Amino acid sequence: MGTGPAFAAQQADLARLTQASRRRTLSGRGGADFSSNDYLGLASSDELAGAVAAALARGVPVGSGGSRLLRGNHAEHEALEAEAAAFFGCERALWFSSGFAANSALLSTLPQRGDLIVHDELIHASAIEGIRLGRAEHMAVRHNDAAAFELAVQGWRKRGETGRVWLAVESVYSMDGDRAPLDDLAATAARHDAILLIDEAHATGVFGPDGRGLAAHLEGEPNVITLRTCGKALGCEGALVCAPAVVADFLINRGRGFIFSTAPSPLMAAAVRAALGLLKSQPQRRDMLWQRVRLAEQVLGPLGATVSHSQILPLIVGEDSAAMARAAGLQAAGFDVRGIRPPTVPPGTARLRIAITLNVSEAEIAGLGEALQSVTAQA
């Protein structure tokens, strides 16, 4: 029987978060967009709005009405999956409602008891959630260190373990903007008959031929699974698991996050189909994005931002309160830059996560540099 107010423990935890400058709150949009993942500016594009209007006109419903295994499966879902498989070059694509749902389903369902998951220490929280829900042994290794993956597998095998090994990484890391050593990891996977899971969330649409990501040259390999979220550069929502057909079939039969979820909107499937078409037909969007990235590197690099050679330029501040104060100063000046604190990033590395998108102009990038100089001087 509980004592005291019903939610006293929760209230006390919120108070601790406030004291540590780590309490999260929701805030609206405002100012120039330096915080979203809408890298190609598709979310509000006329092209996607037109695709949705056309889908409505031909009778595509807004809601699915049920799970994919009941009445929720729609021709738009199947068309998207077929087109995505052809576009990315995989045997099968399976669409989930979000990247979080897909990652957690992959890593809780596919690795079995007696297997080993070796993952980068900075991998997405959704992957960690899937690992936590699963039955396989797991270990984190040093960020972007291919040799650490190799040593982890070797040590496990020396213990006499015989299960399957799964290597889980992101191709571009969401808070640092740096790239995984995919070719080295693919070689490790080949040596140890392992499966390589690559989260292409922040690479899809931005990198690779036709925006097919940094893992495009590995797609279709029998031991490679990629995850391609649709809510970032594609400007929509959901996530595509690209994999051998047996993987998709297994997720349909055993993936609780897929089986027991209401299917994503068929209308959104139509939007994602259009977005994939735009990746191929409008390469100028990527060209313009990279022009802005190079300008941002020139403007923000000398002010302390990490030149990651991606669209994500973190500026490490260190202390939580200091990072949030600088973010607030930039927001007050009309630039939507958000502060990122632990546990999202390691302790002592609170930062400004600056994302470059086609939603900002070159003049706004220059203006951000001036505002950053000002708030830094006031710190």
Q: What residues are annotated to the active site? A: 37, 124, 170, 174, 199, 202, 232
Amino acid making up residue 311? Q
d(CA 308, CA 149) in angstroms, rounded, equals 22
Q: Which of 236, 262, 192 is nearest to 47 (CA)?
A: 236
Peptide bond into 181 cis (omega under 30): no
Helical ranges in the chain per DSSP H: 8-19, 46-57, 75-88, 99-109, 125-133, 146-158, 182-191, 245-254, 256-259, 266-281, 284-300, 320-332, 362-378
Q: What are phi and psi of 42, to 5 degrees?
A: -85, -25
Q: Is 67 left (phi over 0), alpha (psi -120 to 50) or beta?
A: beta
Q: Are strands 312-318 and 338-340 parallel, antiparallel or unpaired?
A: unpaired
Q: Which residues contact 143 (CB under 8 A, 6 or more apart)?
A: 120, 121, 122, 173, 176
